[in-house]
Amino acid sequence: MASTQTRWQIAGDYFENCNCNVVCPCLFSPNAPLTSKPTAGACEVAFSFHVDRGDYGGVTLDGLNVALIARTPGAMADGNWSVALYLDERADEQQRQALQAVFTGSVGGPVAALAPLISTVLGVKPVPITFRKEGKHRSIEIPSLMQMAVHAVPSMNPDEEIWAKNAHPFASSVAMAVGDEKSTWTDYGMHWDNAGKNAHYAPINWSNA
């Protein structure tokens, strides 16, 4: 990391819902991570984030939300990703620039490892985003664009989630989950419905230190 790069850190929560069957072979298979073919051929995944506490070179990011969608035509590791980013409209210009830098991977952190796989940026939009965390349920709403929600898969102990360790670039452990009914995203000429499909959620603690 260059010494002139802005230092940042965020802590909060994330969830995702893709179009793979449970369990997603992109993360869980006999092959190296991200090298297996998605169950539907192409990967269509939405990531949602809530920042509880965040600082980007002195710019506070507390309480802000972000959504990132990605589509890959084949195995994720093969690249050619198309992505779109949605930034909390409550953010001021400095906060928007900071969120865009963090969630495009241009300033290090977990997303930076995925950035070389991206070939098309569909757009970056400021939008109203509502993120909810309730027990073993997570949801996000962007009016007219995204209404996605996930819940933990059933486990032997109904009070605890099934956690997968060392399986995901965003968190050291992720809960195994599944998309709710009508878990949808519609924009840029595409429509996804990932209801009943693979999902994960986890607390996140990212930085470029």
Confidence of residue 62 (pLDDT cuts 50, 70, 90): very high
Question: How many Cα atoms sit within 13 Å of 84 on the Cβ side?
Answer: 19
Q: Is residue 123 over pLDDT 60?
A: yes
Over range 82-107, report the average pLDDT.
97
Q: Is residue 44 over pLDDT 70?
A: yes
In terms of Cα–Cα distance, which of 149, 147, 150, 151 is closest to 191?
A: 147
Instruction: Spell out the residues 6+ positions from residue 22 whose beta carbon is closer than 8 angstroms to its own.
Output: 153, 176, 178, 197, 198, 199
Mean pLDDT, all residues of the chain: 96
pLDDT of residue 4: 65
Over range 173-188, report the average pLDDT.
97
Q: Is residue 3 over pLDDT 90?
A: no
Confidence of residue 209 (pLDDT cuts 50, 70, 90): confident
Count of helix runs (H) and strand runs (E) in the chain: 1, 14
Confidence of residue 2 (pLDDT cuts 50, 70, 90): very low
